[in-house]
Amino acid sequence: ISIAHVEYQTEKRHYAHVDCPGHADYVKNMITGAAQMDGAILVVAATDGPMPQTREHVLLARQVGVPYIVVALNKADMVDDEEIMELVEMEVRELLSDQDYPGDDLPIVRVSALKALEGDEQWANAIVELMDAVDEAIPEPERDIEKPFLMPVEDVFTITGRGTVVTGRVERGIVKVNETVDIVGIRPNKTSTTVTGVEMFRKILDEGRAGENVGLLLRGIKREDVERGQV
C-alpha cells in the first residue's frame, strides 16, 4: 500500500490530502507522507479505541513535525453507550497529550465514514463538521515562496511519449515551465535538466509553488537517472 493523494475543497481552502494507512507494516510509507503535512486527521475507531499503531502514528507525527492534529472518531454509529464514547475520547486525548499535542483542547469529531458514504444525512453532516474543525484548528501555513526552489523527490515514473516525471511537495520557492533545475543528492554528480511541464492533480499548470504537491516533467532524463530521496 502506498500513500494516496486526493484533493478537495472547503469554503475556506483547498486541501491536498495524503492518506497514510494505519497498519504497522505501512508506517514507513507514513514517514514519507508525514514529513510534508501542515496538519493531520487522526482516525480512531470508536469500537476499538486507540490501537498500538495509533500510538506509533502519533509518535511519528510528533517526530517528523506534524504541527496540528484533529481527531475523527470513526464508526461512531456502532457505539450506543455514551460512557464508552467518552472513555475512548479520554484515551485518545491522553495519548495525544503524551506526545505534547494539546490533547485536552483539540477537536474530536464523531463520524461514520461508511454511513456518510451510504448517504445518511446525519453522518454526511458529521464529515462537514469534521472539515469545519480542520479549517479552524489547523492555521493557514506560511509558504516560503521568496527563497530558491527546492523539492524533495518522492516518486519517479515514466509517461510514454512524454518522458520522466518526478513528484513531490515543493518545499520552498516557485518552479516555472522551461526553467532549468539541478537534481542533487545520493549520487556523486548533479544532473541539470529543464522542466517542460508542471501538473497538480492532473491539471496542467504554468508553475509549482511552495506547499503544493506537483509532478514535474523533465527533459532528457531517463527513469533511472533520478531516484526518490534526491532533491
Same fold, 4-137 and 155-225: no
Class of domain 155-225: mainly beta
Length of the chain as a residue count: 231
Find, among 223, 153, 230, the residue nearest to 188 by Cα: 230
Topology, domain 4-137: Rossmann fold (3.40.50)
- Rounded distance between C-alpha atoms, residue 184 and residue 127, angstroms: 42
Contact 202, 214 (CB under 8 A): no
Report the alpha-carbon distance of residue 90 to residue 87 in Å, rounded. Answer: 5
Cell of 91: 484515551
pTM, entire model: 0.69
Q: CA distances (Å), 21 to each of 18, 38, 116, 135, 138, in order?
A: 10, 18, 20, 23, 21
Domain ranges of the chain: 4-137, 155-225
**AA identity, residue 43:** V
Cα–Cα dist 38/66, whole Å? 6
Helices (H), the chain: 27-34, 52-63, 82-98, 113-117, 121-137
- Between CA 34 and CA 207 the distance in angstroms is 24
SS3 sequence, 37-65? CCCEEEEEECCCCCCHHHHHHHHHHHHCC
DSSP SS3 for 180: strand
pLDDT digits (tens, 9 = 90+) for 18-50: 777 655 555 665 666 555 688 999 999 999 999
Q: What is the pLDDT along the chain (231 residues), one digit of tens a residue?
A: 456 778 888 998 888 887 776 555 556 656 665 556 889 999 999 999 999 889 988 998 888 788 999 999 999 999 999 999 999 999 999 999 999 999 999 999 999 999 999 999 999 999 999 999 999 999 988 777 888 999 999 889 888 888 899 999 898 999 999 999 999 988 888 889 999 999 987 788 889 988 888 999 998 888 888 998 899
